[in-house]
Structure 1
């Protein structure tokens, strides 16, 4: 079974990565396309004082679902096996851990996301993922 992971953040680049990954596995009925949204966790102690864990988890779910909307649109007319996941955390580390836990064979990701602080050549999340994972990564511009 082929497991392909696409981290999504709702950006145009991540949507193009979903399109590319879907094309890669289109003729493999045993393949699974994993979509992973990794909303940045709220780290401020002040926020945590005023909002319960349930409220924060609901916020992460909303953020993750918003990031998944373009991917769902791309995949709506395709008959692929898809698993959606929303896991709040440091994006690069979350991608690495998810890939390890789910026996991911390949990662397809955009080079630029929605971050306000892009890296110099590639997006900072992309650069970190490349240094953390031990599976092939296809970058989509």
Structure 2
């Protein structure tokens, strides 16, 4: 079975990556996808413990919502979703590390995504993944 790790962040470009993977030819054994959402680490500074818990809960809930929406989109396009992974850290490093961990044959992602403030960034994550990846990377606009 051919496995593709798709990085998702709720952006239109990430949705296009899911759609592009759905168009890939399916060989013997089919095509399975794993979805990953990596959030940037949150630095709490001097926030009280209760506020830290609230921020962390909101981050996890948003991450779960993004992953579930992506999974529904993927399934709707006929893809087998083998896993949903939410993590936090250096985005490019986490994506490449998870590709290794899940034995992905390819990584797919949008060329631009949503930054911390919801603005577009210029593909620095995509570039980082391409430079670090041990498997082919499909970048989708």
Maintained 8 Å contact 2:112/2:120: no
Asked whether 1:22 is paired with 2:22, we answer: yes
Equivalents in 2 of 1:55, 1:132: separation in Å? 34
Equivalents in 1 of 2:68, 2:80: separation in Å? 17
Aligned CA distance change for structure 1 residues 117 and 71 (closer, same or farther; 3 Å): closer
Asked whether 1:128 is paired with 2:131, we answer: no
Displacement after TM superposition at 1:39 (Å): 1.5
What 5-or-longer segments of structure 1 have no aligned partner? none
Asked whether 1:104 is paired with 2:104, we answer: yes
**Structure with more of its chain in strand, by fraction:** 2
Give 1:59's aligned residue: 58
Q: TM-score, normalised by structure 2?
A: 0.82
Give 1:93's aligned residue: 93
CA RMSD of aligned residues (A): 2.4
Equivalents in 2 of 1:24, 1:51: separation in Å? 46
Displacement after TM superposition at 1:35 (Å): 0.6
- How many residues align structurally? 137
Equivalents in 1 of 2:67, 2:53: separation in Å? 21
Aligned CA distance change for structure 1 residues 124 and 130 (closer, same or farther; 3 Å): same
Moved over 3 A (4+): 25-30, 51-57
Displacement after TM superposition at 1:53 (Å): 7.3
What 5-or-longer segments of structure 2 have no aligned partner? none
Equivalents in 1 of 2:28, 2:45: separation in Å? 47
Q: TM-score, normalised by structure 1?
A: 0.82
Residue aligned with 2:121, SS: coil
